[in-house]
Chains A and B, each alone.
Chain A
């Protein structure tokens, strides 16, 4: 017994050391982005590895912000080109560096997609879990099948559809398909299953309307699910590079990910500039993740348990 516990102790120490090394390896890219963003050019092109900036400078950010400018915010009215012939934009605010504008676009896109997804998915998930309407079996099967579908397969038709709706190069063209993606409905169905039928029955007997039952009884009970879905949708939408790449073509509608990718294609040698862009693209979302990570962990787990 003694040798065995000795061996398992040695294994434990070994595994902790290995874990720490791996953690450092996983942290390295982020460390490299942040330090790279503040390094002077001399450090970046040095022949010897420079692990820590010899001097912290903001030149890279200056370059990033001075490159291009755009109005702080333009809201594209969905479907407006149908009625006005061309897209209608509300321009708001002063002219700012384009990178800020990209950030504003990204936040708008992610927040809008998040709000719409949470509302529609909470309603649909509740209906699928608790309403015995005809056809729900088929609908649910369709949702599960669509979840396994490779998303990119539908992109060409989606592109044609957005062209027909005159939504090309419009943030709504990225937002709408995100709302349609059925994972949220699936997740909210899992959460809604746990609502006791007796409570809903009691509400009905008391004469509560369907909508009232939903807002006063169902929503509070599935709140953790909504929280998880919100943060999940937010991060996914923020990082959904492929969809953004296909749908958005013009500078002022770019998201931060797309902006950085374009910068890379244009100036693939200015690593400091690229790191500044990467820092701008990733640090906000990482902070949001760290704040809400408890909901997030719960959400991914819940979606899989019964899946």
Chain B
């Protein structure tokens, strides 16, 4: 079975460097420079995969990134395994392993192949139609569908490789290093434009580099020889950077492009470690020159998907570039002259070409005449009506085409062959062009979509711009370069070009067979097994939009994104529906052009770099003392401090009791702090808070509630007046950045006349909250000369003091209901301050407590947490905080909205306390509240927002929002849970020390 099909040494494959690799467990050999596809073909392996739906055997079809069939799993079972890789893009290296996908138990014998025989039962939309009924069965269907779907297997361990991102800026970016790209880059760089040239392949030159049509000449050389000289000269050019193995994935507006540079994929495993595997290059270019070339089209005929059926251009590339014959009995099927170049390439190497089947009536170009001289049989006006060979093509059947091309006549001729090169014409690769937002137009003569209106400074040159012949390419390129670079002369002004004129064309989107369409399988999308039949069915069923037909039939939805078959799909739709292709438009080409790995997308943002996090200056102490942490916004906050193997519940109960009984200390450094200065600072606060600020004395603190214009609570915190025109505002930890943004917005846009300056000082201060009945004694020990009497330093007031040499700001404010002090020092002294407090507090059993205890203690007092007890639909009135809303102030943010008919409704959800009838039951936060148990469906009155077991009250307490709750004091309600109904009573949300006596204790 295996025989070597290496036919002639090639410049691009190093035959002195033999490489062994494994495919489906079997060892093969190739040479340095081979792709996995070329090496397999050299070993006469065509069957490499199974199709997605019918599990039909499939072979290598192309030689590039448009490959729909040869999709393999690389290095299966290892950390570096990668699914859905195109064998045509994998450069082989010693030790490479690859396997087929979507087949079981093997690609040779695949049980799923039975779908092929059942295919009459799997038309387009089969899944949509079949698994809809009965609706309740979907879960059962889904289980089976999920297990039979999917291509490769994703790796199960974390990726061992390093990925990188880089931002670059260029005057000119040239995408594609074929002949047009090379000439464009060269001339741009020579004219002092800082230029980047990228190409997805590892060699420059595109398809011209292995061009073999001897009738095309540039300066009396073949284009291939001439281009090699040009490539040599690139090395001498300054201002030019060249990146190979670099594929542009996305072209966004404003000439912003993303390219993936492959750095180690072609290296042996031992050379991959500790190197960057792939780099995402983020390119900003003043001008973009697209030279992305064209993709050869297949042709759509019955059973056009067998292993051994390939693009004619791929057959030529394997022969000329890799020195590999794709078959020993070759046939070509074409509608243009390019198949003749492929045939000649094989003929010149002594490989058997059995026949060329051409749907045209005749062609008289030089290359065709040359083939005629060789004696290779050409069947003019013939079409392939069927092919045979299950795992490898063994023959094609041809018949004469009718004049109108819709039917076949005469005798069926069978031609034995093992490789069929198909040449259906060329489709410009306009994917990147349209991604940029630019618009296409259809060229009826060339049957291609071409660039029309660009949205940014860009040009499309060469075959992606619709120029297919070497003279058109160079002359149009020359003019476009002069226009876009604004230069008068180029290297291309005086070159002499001779070309072989193609003089005959014929295009038939769907070729006829002697069988009715229903009995044939003319594949349009190879990867997703969508046939011309499916497309016609979609049209019969009423689909008209190309986007709908695409989704219904899955044409163009594989990993190849329909690079080969999309034009045929459009053509078949246009012909069937009787519209022009130009009117039909195309489906949207979305990034990425070729798939990107997740690694490349995330770059270095993995593990601890996934998201930034913020630590307080006291963080090290918390870590040393075994705190558990919770994330609050980007902050890591001490959550609780378990000792002796305590559970969270045990730790929190102990901490909560200790604070009320003696003393506790909390790291409050994460609270947002905004320094507010200016002669209008008081007026500004009047406008942004619901309460009045003008009369706040210097040295006093006040709690404020901030609303949105819609009247809903946005943030809260204590603000202190430090001087006549100087305040320090605190915000919630999570809301700090948004509050600053909102305040700046109003100052800059609504009230620019106010003299107010805002500075975020959150990171500048560390804050220790010293709390509990013994907090005063502890502070006295630290600052003996500060008068802490209620007369001198009452609740809600502020003092500046020194701890040793350290200046500090102390606010006597409380979020726990206990006598407490918030001590602020310059951040770098934070840990020192904390340790001093701990030392002084030792005799009072000072207990460090975390955010969970803070939440419990404030809930005992009925203090809200914005974002926990509120959710953007709660007004201050809903929170029963009418006292903080000034009736006297003419205006403040959100005031008007408090008088809208909706916000004044009595039956809005309002904040209340809830007590469980059984004091040991702790409600679940988020649990629903109802007033009836026997109703169905039952009306949901509200939900539990905060719930704890209070060690100080020795019972469970909860805050909740309940519809009309304000007037339900004492009412019995129910919290239905999965296994039981919990009886609760509506209560005052202040559960502890209702008269605030402890604040002054």
Query: Does A pair with B?
Result: no
